A and B are shown apart, each in its own frame.
Chain A
Amino acid sequence: MIIHSSSQVSRFRLLRRFPLPRGFGILRESRIDPGRHWPAPAGAKRTKTFQIYRYDPESGRNPRLDTFEVDFDECGPMVLDALIWIKSKVDSSLTFRRSCREGVCGSCAMTLDGTNWLACTRFITEMASPASVYPLANFPVIKDLVPDQTHALAQYSMIEPWLKASEPPPQQHERLQSVADRKQLDGYYECILCFCCTSGCPSHWWNGDRFLGPAVLLQAWRWLADSRDDAKGERLDALEDPFRLYRCHTILNCTRTCPKGLNPGKAIAEIKKMMLERTL
């Protein structure tokens, strides 16, 4: 099956996950226990079953997988609507991040049915039965669906994501760019830093301590591609490292999962090419 856009949900239902034991490589505190079942309120006609990852740091217990029956007629069309419905009608302790509810803030990035997407832009009807909702893959969990992004954001600050110009800005106007130069940033400046791609990258799973991951490298390219930036050599020096950049093996899970339809895999390839070109 050919995937044309990252928003396409795979119809391939045969292999939902890799044939590995559930506890494969998982530390004791991360093991997921069976959770409780929350039935639909009386009178619900059409229901949808959601299996949701729960973790309460104050309970001292392991994460659990709770099952919720959501009244489909009572809640809005998106997965985020279902989560809000559960929080207001069933279990007020369900914790998740959300803000804009229209795919521009990146707060509600989660692992939905085994792939990363924003809960606010995924239709409930596109979800499997039962639908599975986990916090972003491979992130430390603060509570329920809230991942700890400290490390990812520290990696982001490492690439110094701001304009480094050698000359002061002109007095009369802002720093100008030609239309063609500005075009170089298309497909990169739109990144909302939801970390769906970094969370879906196997290289980042195994070497996330030193490999920067697709989201941060896409941002690195965004500054390398900017005609107004004068720190290209410096930026490339910081990336020239067996782990920071070159742990990317072009798996391309990043491009498959980007909820904004961007192409982190291509951005990384552009960095590798620029790295090569400067030695020629």
Chain B
Amino acid sequence: MRPRSPNIQNYRPQLTSVLSIANLITALISTVALVAFVAWLVAAALRPSSYGALHAAAVSPIGRALLVIATFAFFLHLCGSIRHLFWDAVVGFELRSIYASGWVAVAASIVLTAAAWLVGRFVKG
């Protein structure tokens, strides 16, 4: 058998490939977060003690960190998928646009995550 030349072991990570794999990973995180959200609703409907336990876990430092990651993953997946909608209409395929829209997606998801948490703070009062 002939050897095969290395692919991912040697190929340089680029915005193109990194955001593509990020779209997959953020989809996975968002799906898990959705299950957690449903569990939270069920616990709230069930009885105060089960809701209290879940709430305590959610506001713990680790719980908060996971929620921030989940929010960021949700927004990055949202922004990344909007890029795909444009590509499906054959819009934005110049290399310049590919890179510009990629960085905009990253920046926008950071801003949206911060905004979501700030609004959450504000609404809670």
Footprint of B on A, CB under 8 Å? 1-6, 10, 15-18, 20-27, 29-30, 32, 53, 55, 57, 62-63, 111, 113-115, 132, 134-142, 147-148, 199-200, 202, 205, 249-253, 255-256, 263, 265-266, 269-270, 272-273
Contact = CB atoms under 8 A, between A and B. Distances in A.
B14 to A, nearest CB: 6
B13 A17 contact: yes
Contact of B10 (A10, A114, A250): A114
Contacts of B96: 2-4
B88 A273 contact: yes
A135 B98 contact: no
A255 B5 CA distance: 21
Given A140-B2, A148-B2, A252 B7 contact: no
B56 interface: no
Interface of B: 1-17, 20-21, 84, 87-90, 93-96, 98-100, 103
Contacts of A115: 11-12, 14
Given A29-B3, A140-B2, A141-B4, A134 B95 contact: no
Given A16-B12, A137-B11, 7 more contacts: A29-B1, A137-B10, A251-B17, A256-B16, A256-B98, A263-B94, A273-B89
Contact of B95 (A15, A62, A256): A256
B100 A2 contact: yes
Nearest to B96: A4
Given A18-B13, A250-B84, A251-B17, A136 B5 contact: yes
Contacts of A202: 7-8, 17, 20-21
Given A2-B103, A255-B98, A205 B8 contact: yes
B11 A114 contact: yes
Contacts of B84: 250
A253 B17 contact: yes
Residue from the set A63, A142, A269 with the largest chain B CB neighbour count within 10 Å = A269
B90 A269 contact: yes
Given A2-B100, A3-B96, A252-B98, A142 B2 contact: yes
B5 A147 contact: yes
B45 to A, nearest CB: 39
Contacts of B93: 255, 263, 265-266, 269
B95 A3 contact: yes
